[in-house]
């Protein structure tokens, strides 16, 4: 009998301590049947990754990326080894591997490496001996033989990439909520679990800040059409299926609302309004490896204009230094920054066929007297940058206005 492969991933809060590891071990043993082979990807225990990062920054303001990866990858090595031990203690056979040991090859972009290929003879060998395979998430090996990490939330990517490489039937993501909700259920109590969501919508929600799945993992799942089942490791119930668009999925205008308070805004005033200036500003900033997101240029008055843009809050210091340098070179005015902004977004592939969605969003914020600082749109989303202190109120109101709440 040819066995099928199931990939499961357990996130940090699912393995936060030894008791939780025991629960997860029981759950894994329960899902090991005679007709399947399991690969279990595991994240670092609880907040380990944050704590490791904090330690690094206490010792060194700009820690070298190579050593950062060496450090950060250890969290997942601990949890994978402990989980294999817990399974063995229950009388079942398991073997734990690091990412490099199961042939996860990446590029050399330390701290945000991309998976290039997976050659996994060791997984096949372990399966042929009926072992449960545990893999440390979030890591791989660069062509130079260096340990790399796949960006925060990267264990999701390890799981999806392994599922694709091993031709698994499904990739199950076990986490601390029961699925994908219409908005973060920890923030908005009336959030409702979504039964089925498309890769496209999930990718948009993840990119716009819904932390529940790493955006890059969804990109890979979409490219290779790998269905994902997001579900709870705490309670036993069906979660959310993330799948390719199909006619059975109800076409709603707005599927979800996301909030993201991890960006900051920079404004350069009195910028000479001439051809080529924007190119100079953003070339200089991108050379410092800062990702610029929304950009707004004001209407020019007497040949001068203000340019505002958002950057990840973590990169604000770097981005500010670059902005000040370029402002000087082009004879612009002041450079200011604001860390107290948040982005609220509405997402839904039905937006393509429904009209007036953006207007309804702006109206809702206006009724609450919330000023919109910046706006950005894609085919299936509208985002507004507002003051962070209004983010929760705005999210709740949009959630209600677009009929997403539990009462519906
Ligand atoms: P894990 O440790 O399992 O990787 P994460 O903390 O990365 O878990 O992701 C789960 C969290 O994502 C939830 O606790 C929830 O607060 C948050 N979240 C944000 N947006 C959503 C959403 N739309 N649906 C479900 N969870 C969400
Ligand atoms: N431990 C890593 C992080 O916290 C990877 C992961 O959990 O997915 O980002
Ligand atoms: Mg996560």
Distance 137 CA to ligand 1 centre (A): 17
CA-proximal residue: ligand 1, atom 6 (nearest): 212
1 pLDDT higher than 80: no
Query: CB of 323 closer than 6 A to ligand 2?
Result: no
* pLDDT for 408: 44
User: Residue 370: which of 346, 351, 398 has the closest Cα?
Assistant: 398
* pLDDT for 33: 84
Q: Any residues with Cβ below 6 Å from ligand 1, and which?
A: 11-14, 43, 153, 175-177, 180-181, 183-186, 210-212, 256
Q: Work out the mean pLDDT of the chain and round it to a whole number.
A: 95
Distance 400 CA to ligand 2 centre (A): 32
Distance 257 CA to ligand 1 centre (A): 13
- Bridge partners of 232, per DSSP, are 175
Confidence of residue 407 (pLDDT cuts 50, 70, 90): low
Which ligand is in closest contact with the Cα of 51? 2
Tell whether pTM > 0.85: yes
Domains in the chain: ranges and CATH: 4-176 (3.40.1160.10), 257-401 (3.30.2130.10)
Which ligand is in closest contact with the Cα of 24? 1
CA pair distance 147, 166, nearest whole angstrom: 22
Q: Which of 136, 138, 314 to mutate for ligand 2's pocket (most ligand atoms within 8 Å of CB)?
A: 138
Tens digits of residue pLDDT in 120-171: 999 999 999 999 999 999 999 999 999 999 999 999 999 999 999 999 999 9
Tens digits of residue pLDDT in 364-374: 999 999 999 99
351 pLDDT higher than 90: yes
Tens digits of residue pLDDT in 182-216: 999 999 999 999 999 999 999 999 999 999 999 99
Tens digits of residue pLDDT in 257-286: 999 999 999 999 999 988 899 999 999 999
CA pair distance 401, 358, nearest whole angstrom: 12
Tens digits of residue pLDDT in 293-318: 999 988 777 889 999 999 999 889 99
Starting at the edge strand that comes first in sequence, how are the strands of the sheet with 94-97 ordered? Answer: 94-97, 132-136, 36-42, 4-10, 170-175, 228-232, 240-243, 196-198
CA pair distance 332, 355, nearest whole angstrom: 40
Q: What would the mean pLDDT of 375-386 be, rounded to a whole number?
A: 96
For residue 138, give the ligand 2 atom closest to its CA: 5
Query: CB of 153 closer than 6 A to ligand 2?
Result: yes
Q: What would the mean pLDDT of 238-265 be, rounded to a whole number?
A: 93
């Amino acid at each position: 009998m040819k066995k099928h492969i199931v990939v499961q991933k357990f996130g940090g809060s699912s393995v936060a301590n030894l008791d939780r590891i025991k629960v997860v071990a029981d759950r894994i043993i329960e899902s090991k049947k005679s007709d399947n082979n399991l690969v279990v990807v595991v994240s670092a225990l609880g907040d380990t990754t944050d704590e490791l990062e904090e330690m690094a920054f206490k010792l060194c303001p700009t820690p070298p990326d190579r050593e950062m990866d060496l450090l950060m990858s250890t969290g997942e090595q601990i949890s994978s080894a402990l989980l294999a031990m817990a399974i063995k203690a229950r009388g079942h056979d398991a073997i734990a591997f690091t990412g490099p040991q199961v042939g996860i090859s990446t590029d050399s972009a330390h701290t945000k490496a991309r998976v290039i290929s997976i050659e996994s003879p060791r997984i096949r060998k372990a399966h042929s001996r009926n072992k449960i395979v545990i893999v440390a998430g979030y890591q791989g090996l660069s062509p130079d033989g260096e340990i790399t990490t796949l960006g925060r939330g990267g264990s999701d990517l390890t799981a999806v990439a392994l599922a694709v490489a091993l031709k698994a039937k499904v990739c199950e993501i076990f986490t601390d909520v029961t699925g994908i909700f219409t908005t973060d259920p920890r923030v908005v109590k009336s959030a409702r679990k979504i039964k089925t969501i498309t890769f496209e919508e999930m990718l948009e929600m993840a990119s716009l800040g819904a932390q529940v799945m790493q955006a890059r993992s969804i990109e890979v799942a979409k490219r290779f059409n790998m269905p994902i089942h997001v579900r709870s490791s705490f309670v036993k119930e069906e979660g959310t299926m993330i799948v390719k668009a199909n006619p059975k999925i109800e076409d709603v205008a707005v599927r979800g609302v996301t909030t993201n308070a991890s960006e900051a805004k920079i404004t350069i005033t009195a910028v000479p309004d001439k051809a080529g200036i924007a190119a100079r500003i953003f070339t200089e900033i991108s050379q410092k490896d800062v990702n610029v997101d929304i950009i707004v240029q004001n209407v020019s008055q007497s040949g001068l204009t203000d340019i505002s843009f958002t950057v990840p809050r973590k990169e604000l210091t770097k981005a500010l230094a670059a902005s000040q340098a370029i402002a000087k070179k082009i004879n612009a005015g002041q450079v200011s920054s604001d860390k107290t902004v948040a982005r609220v977004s509405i997402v839904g592939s039905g937006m393509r066929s429904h009209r007036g969605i953006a207007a309804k969003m702006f109206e809702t914020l206006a009724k609450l007297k919330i000023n919109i600082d910046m706006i950005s749109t894609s085919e299936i989303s509208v985002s507004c940058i507002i003051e962070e202190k209004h983010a929760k109120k705005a999210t709740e109101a949009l959630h209600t206005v677009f009929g997403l709440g539990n009462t519906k």
